[in-house]
A and B are shown apart, each in its own frame.
Chain A
Amino acid sequence: MREWEEGRKDREESRKRLLESLAMSIGNIGRGWKIYRRSLLAVLGLVMVLSVSLVAIFADEIAVQHPYRNLTDTEDKWSNNPDQQESPPFSEECSLRAQKITTNPNSPLFSETVVAESGNKVRESIALGYYTDVLSVTEIIKIESISPPGYDQDMSLITVDPNNSSIFVLSPELYGNSSYYAGVWITYLYENDEMSHWWMPEGYDTCIFGTNKEGHDVFSKVVYGARVSLTIGITVATLTVTIGTIVGSISGYYGGRVDEVIMRICDVFFAIPGLILAMAFVAAMRSVSSLTLPVWLGVLLPVLMLAYFLNAHLSTTILSGDNKVSDQAMGMLMKNRSLLVSVLAFLFFVGWLPAIAWSDFFGVSHSRGWRLTSSLVVIALLAAIILADRKFVQKNSMDGALERLSSSFDWTNPWRYLNFRTVVVFLSMAILFKLSGNEGSEIILIKDFDKLWQVQFALIFTGWPGYARLIRGQVLYVKEMAFVEAAKSVGAPPSRIMFRHILPNAWAPLLVAFTLDIGGTILSASGLSFLGLGAAPYTAEWGLMISESRVAFQRAPHMMLYPGLAIAITVLGFNLLGDGIRDVVDPKNRR
Chain B
Amino acid sequence: MKLHEFVVRRLLLLIPVMIGVAVFTFAVAQIIPGDPAALQCGDKCGLIVGYTEEGEPITAHQANRERLKLDDPVSIQFERYITDLVNGDWGESQKNGRPVLDIIKTSAPVTLEMAFFSLMIAYPLGIFLGIISAVRQDRMFDHVSRFFAIAFVSLPIFWFAMLLQLYFATGPEVGGICDPIFGTEGGCFPIFDRHDQSYTYPIEGYHWFYPEAGTGFHLVDSWFVTDAKLAELPSEFDTNRELFMDTLTHLVLPCSALGIASSGSLLRYMRASLLEVLHEDYVRTARAKGLSEFRVVVVHACRNAMVPIVTILGFSIGGAIGGAVLTESVFGIHGMGTVAVLGILQLEYQIVMGVTLLTSVIFLLSNLIVDIAYAIVDPRVRLE
Which B residues are CB-close (under 8 A) to A298? Answer: none
What interface size band does chain A fall in?
35 or more
A348 touches B151 (CB 8 A): no
Min C-beta distance of B320 to chain A, whole Å: 9
Task: Tell me the count of chain B residues lying within 8 A, CB to CB, of chain A.
Answer: 59
B138-185 at interface with A (beta carbon < 8 Å): 143, 146-147, 150-151, 153-159, 162-163, 165-166, 170, 174-175
B73 touches A354 (CB 8 A): yes
Annotate A262-290 by CB proximity to B: 1 below 8 A, 0 otherwise.
00110110011111110111111111000
Which A residues are CB-close (under 8 A) to B330? Answer: 550
B150 touches A279 (CB 8 A): no
Cβ-closest chain A residue relative to B163: A564
B154 touches A272 (CB 8 A): no
Which B residues are CB-close (under 8 A) to A572? Answer: 150-151, 154
Q: Does A571 contact B (CB under 8 A)?
A: yes
Min C-beta distance of A324 to chain B, whole Å: 34
Q: How far is the CA of A309 from the CA of B143 in the complex (A)?
A: 47
Q: How far is the CA of A155 from the CA of B69 in the complex (A)?
A: 74
Interface 9-mer from A51-59, A91-99, A410-418, A552-560 = A552-560
Q: How far is the CA of A276 from the CA of B339 in the complex (A)?
A: 11
- Contacts A351-B76, A567-B156; is A531 near B325 (CB within 8 Å)? yes
Main secondary structure of the interface of B (DSSP, over half): helix
Which A residues are CB-close (under 8 A) to B12? Answer: none
Interface 9-mer from B49-57, B81-89, B292-300, B356-364 = B356-364
- Can you name 10 A-B pairs with beta carbons within 8 Å? A41-B146, A267-B20, A271-B21, A272-B359, A276-B355, A283-B349, A284-B31, A546-B162, A555-B174, A564-B156
**20 extra interchain contacts, Cβ-Cβ under 8 A, other than A264-B20, A275-B322?**
A264-B16, A264-B17, A267-B16, A271-B17, A272-B21, A272-B356, A279-B340, A280-B356, A283-B28, A354-B75, A523-B156, A530-B326, A533-B341, A550-B162, A554-B166, A557-B166, A557-B175, A568-B151, A571-B154, A575-B153
Min C-beta distance of A491 to chain B, whole Å: 35
Which A residues are CB-close (under 8 A) to B20? Answer: 264-265, 267-268, 271
Q: How far is the CA of A264 from the CA of B146 in the complex (A)?
A: 35
Q: How far is the CA of A139 from the CA of B297 in the complex (A)?
A: 70
Q: How far is the CA of A271 from the CA of B323 in the complex (A)?
A: 16
A275 touches B326 (CB 8 A): yes
Q: Which residues does A use to contact B, with CB under 8 Å?
A: 41, 264-265, 267-268, 271-277, 279-287, 348-349, 351, 354-355, 358, 519, 523, 526-527, 530-533, 542-543, 546, 550, 553-555, 557, 560, 563-564, 567-568, 571-572, 575-576, 579
A553 touches B162 (CB 8 A): yes
B326 touches A579 (CB 8 A): no
Q: Does B48 contact A (CB under 8 A)?
A: no
Q: Does B344 contact A (CB under 8 A)?
A: yes
Nearest first, the 9 closest Cβ-Cβ pairs linking A and B are A351-B73, A564-B159, A354-B74, A268-B20, A287-B33, A571-B154, A275-B322, A273-B322, A572-B154
Q: How far is the CA of A287 from the CA of B150 in the complex (A)?
A: 38
Which B residues are CB-close (under 8 A) to A575? Answer: 150, 153-154
- Contacts A272-B24, A351-B76; is A576 near B150 (CB within 8 Å)? yes
Cβ-closest chain A residue relative to B155: A568
Q: How far is the CA of A274 from the CA of B326 in the complex (A)?
A: 12
Q: How far is the CA of A265 from the CA of B19 in the complex (A)?
A: 11
Q: Does B3 contact A (CB under 8 A)?
A: no
B12-31 at interface with A (beta carbon < 8 Å): 16-17, 20-21, 23-25, 28, 30-31
Min C-beta distance of A360 to chain B, whole Å: 12
Q: Does B319 contact A (CB under 8 A)?
A: yes
Which B residues are CB-close (under 8 A) to A280? Answer: 25, 28, 344, 352, 356
Q: Does B120 contact A (CB under 8 A)?
A: no
Which residue from B31, B318, B341 sits with its C-beta under 8 Å from A531? B341
Min C-beta distance of B78 to chain A, whole Å: 9
- Contacts A271-B17, A271-B363, A283-B352; is A554 near B170 (CB within 8 Å)? yes
Q: Does B288 contact A (CB under 8 A)?
A: no
Highest count of chain A CB atoms <10 Å: which of B150, B337, B347, B363 = B150
A532 touches B159 (CB 8 A): no
Which B residues are CB-close (under 8 A) to A275? Answer: 322-323, 325-326
B363 touches A273 (CB 8 A): yes
Which residue from B16, B32, B75, B355 sits with its C-beta under 8 Å from A349? B75
Which B residues are CB-close (under 8 A) to A267? Answer: 16-17, 20
Which B residues are CB-close (under 8 A) to A560? Answer: 159, 162
A348 touches B75 (CB 8 A): yes
Cβ-closest chain B residue relative to A579: B150
Cβ-closest chain B residue relative to A532: B345
A568 touches B154 (CB 8 A): yes
Which residue from A272, A283, A568 sits with its C-beta under 8 Å from B360? A272
A271 touches B162 (CB 8 A): no
Q: How far is the CA of A267 from the CA of B16 in the complex (A)?
A: 9
Q: How far is the CA of A250 from the CA of B209 in the complex (A)?
A: 54
Q: Does B121 contact A (CB under 8 A)?
A: no
A276 touches B74 (CB 8 A): no
Which B residues are CB-close (under 8 A) to A532? Answer: 341, 345
B154 touches A268 (CB 8 A): no
Q: How far is the CA of A523 from the CA of B156 in the complex (A)?
A: 6
Cβ-closest chain B residue relative to A354: B74
Q: Does B329 contact A (CB under 8 A)?
A: yes
Which residue from B153, B155, B359 sits with its C-beta under 8 Å from A273? B359
Q: Does B321 contact A (CB under 8 A)?
A: yes
Which A residues are CB-close (under 8 A) to B323? Answer: 275
Min C-beta distance of B358 to chain A, whole Å: 10
A279 touches B341 (CB 8 A): yes
A268 touches B21 (CB 8 A): yes
Cβ-closest chain B residue relative to A362: B31
Min C-beta distance of B162 to chain A, whole Å: 6
Q: How far is the CA of A264 from the CA of B356 in the complex (A)?
A: 18
B360 touches A567 (CB 8 A): no
Which B residues are CB-close (under 8 A) to A533? Answer: 341, 344-345
Which A residues are CB-close (under 8 A) to B23? Answer: 268
Q: How far is the CA of A533 from the CA of B156 in the complex (A)?
A: 16
Min C-beta distance of B170 to chain A, whole Å: 6
Cβ-closest chain A residue relative to B160: A564
Which A residues are CB-close (under 8 A) to B322? Answer: 273-276
Which A residues are CB-close (under 8 A) to B151? Answer: 568, 572
Which A residues are CB-close (under 8 A) to B28? Answer: 280-281, 283-284
B17 touches A530 (CB 8 A): no
Min C-beta distance of B361 to chain A, whole Å: 8
Q: How far is the CA of A564 from the CA of B321 in the complex (A)?
A: 22
B24 touches A527 (CB 8 A): no
Which A residues are CB-close (under 8 A) to B73? Answer: 351, 354-355
Q: How far is the CA of A550 from the CA of B326 in the complex (A)?
A: 13
Min C-beta distance of B153 to chain A, whole Å: 6
Min C-beta distance of A350 to chain B, whole Å: 8
